[in-house]
Amino acid sequence: MPTDYVSLLSGFVGAVLGAAASLGGVYLQQRTQQKRDRARFALDAAVAEFRAAEEHARFMAAQGQPVVCRDLAYFVFLHSSLSERLFAGKKVNRKQWEQIHLFAKDVSEAGNAVYTKPATSSD
């Protein structure tokens, strides 16, 4: 094989490998950006709903009504779970929404139990 062909072939292989690496990098970057955007969307929705719930709780308390207000962790977990399903193109029916709600509630209550338990000497 003439040396001209070796140079041509090695240049072509290098260009193909470089293009493949570049496309792979762009794909990974786009995928990471989508995950970050989805997480930001869920967090923004959770914070907005948490603030609305706090405002509603203040209003209800001022009226002398009983108030149950979830912490921010509940809303974050709820919205991240819902958005994960919705962005995957899956529909959420009532039963699934209730399961997600109950799981978010359990996670929130477990976190509250950890943070509100009295400190012991072994901690």
**Secondary structure, 3-state, the chain:** CCHHHHHHHHHHHHHHHHHHHHHHHHHHHHHHHHHHHHHHHHHHHHHHHHHHHHHHHHHHHHCCCCCCCCCHHHHHHHHHHHHHHHHCCCCCCHHHHHHHHHHHHHHHHHHHHHHHCCCCCCC
pTM here? 0.66
What is the C-alpha separation between 4 and 21, in angstroms, rounded? 26
Query: Domain boundaries in the chain?
Result: 16-116
pLDDT tens, position by position, 2-55: 777 788 888 888 899 999 999 999 999 999 998 899 899 999 999 999 999 999
Has residue 89 got a pLDDT over 80? yes
For the purposes of burial, counting CB atoms within 10 Å of the CB of 70, is it exposed (0-12), middle (13-18) or buried (19 or more)?
A: buried
